[in-house]
Amino acid sequence: MTTEMSSNEQVIGREELDDLEAILSIVGTEDTDGRHVVNSNYDSIFTWDYEKGTRPRLNKLYEKAKNAQWNGETDLPWDTDVDQEKLVVESAAAMGGFGAGFDISGTPLANWDEKEWIAYGVESQNWLLSQFLHGEQGALICTAKIVESVPWIDAKYYASTQVMDEARHVEVFAKYLDDKMSGHYPVNAHLRMLLDDIISDSRWDMTYLGMQIMIEGLALAAFGLLHSTTQDPLLKQLLRYVMADEARHVAFGVLSLQEYYQELSAAELRERQEFAFEAAVRMRDRFLQQEVWAKMGVDPKAILPVVLAAPDRNDFQAMLFSKIVPNCRKLGLLDAADGWLRTKFTELGVIEYESAVDTSEEYDAMAAVPPTQRDLV
């Protein structure tokens, strides 16, 4: 059975993936009372089948999760001194100097001195950690929803451990931002739209797909990149702890959805493919950091074409999806419904990662190290 090929316009609201006018037209707004309310109407499912271990792989993951807990307040060296400006200078030096890799001639950046580049680097740090923080709160809310809505007791048991994980992640990122960084940014508009879509969808498997596979998968790759480049030992250790949890969370999503997706029709799988593609585009768009450029007094429309044309930009964007694509393949989403998602991931330039290391194998390697020794790996 074939299914009709949906257009980019139908799925993501624009035909061209790199349409900057459309991307930048989506802007965030601050809620005056500091809250953001998303209407969510879904079934909270009780199960009277309490037999533990009916799904052995989920039960095994639950047992691992219980042994992998750590304390964000006491297991991290919070007394570490963090000099943001020094970190910016060291990072720039490692990359070949400020502005290296960009053709900034004819742009406002051509006249920037070291002070302005350092200020941009500090703001970029603040922005990135702020988005990690907001994403972790989204994961906290989504996982609490999974506990309510997933029909299997083994999945409810495991998801309850992830609620604790996500609360801890929110705690440590908030503490790092408050104590070591120099400012907060509101949630990026593209990220908030995606979180709203995931939370408001009534189908429990869409919560899994959107959060466990897509957002957590991209976060795992982004954390890995930052872990390998940061010179801050506190942040490096914090990320190493969080990465082990995130790998387990993605593995949980794969284990749960593999079974369920075998029961779905081609049309139902196409809906999941389109949701995954939309999520991938929204996550890619949020990394343009238009809020940082605006705060620096630079028109994002003027500078983002230069950023996108940087030689390593495509490699960076593709790397962010190195955890997502192989897990979509493992779920059967790449080639289901006439291979629609394979075509779309090819257009995004990320299909090369379909054979990357499986997250389950990655988690097994991470879990072999006790939580308090993970900074040594």
Give the start-to-end residue ranges of the domains of the chain. Answer: 114-376
Rounded CA-CA distance 291/23 in Å is: 12
**pLDDT score for 25:** 81
Rounded CA-CA distance 11/299 in Å is: 28
Rounded CA-CA distance 122/187 in Å is: 17
Instruction: Give Cβ neighbours of residue 190 (< 8 Å, ≥ 6 apart).
Output: 23, 26, 282, 283, 285, 286
> Can you tell me whether residue 88 is helix, strand or coil?
helix
Q: What is the pTM of this model?
A: 0.90
Angle at 196 between CA 220 and CA 321, to 5 degrees: 25
Rounded CA-CA distance 138/314 in Å is: 27
Cβ atoms 143, 163 nearer than 8 A: yes
Q: % helix / strand / coil in the chain, to the nearest 5?
A: 65, 0, 35
pLDDT in single tens digits along all 377 residues of the chain:
455 667 888 887 877 787 778 787 887 777 777 889 998 889 999 999 999 999 999 999 999 999 999 999 999 999 999 999 999 999 989 888 888 777 888 888 989 999 999 999 999 999 999 999 999 999 999 999 999 999 999 999 999 999 999 999 999 999 999 999 999 999 999 999 999 999 999 999 999 999 999 999 999 999 999 999 999 999 999 999 999 999 999 999 999 999 899 999 999 999 999 999 999 998 888 888 999 999 999 999 889 888 888 777 777 777 788 889 999 999 999 999 889 999 999 998 889 989 887 555 665 666 556 565 655 44
CATH level 2 (architecture), domain 114-376: Up-down Bundle (1.20)
Environment class of 203 (CB within 10 Å of its CB; exposed 0-12, middle 13-18, buried 19+): middle
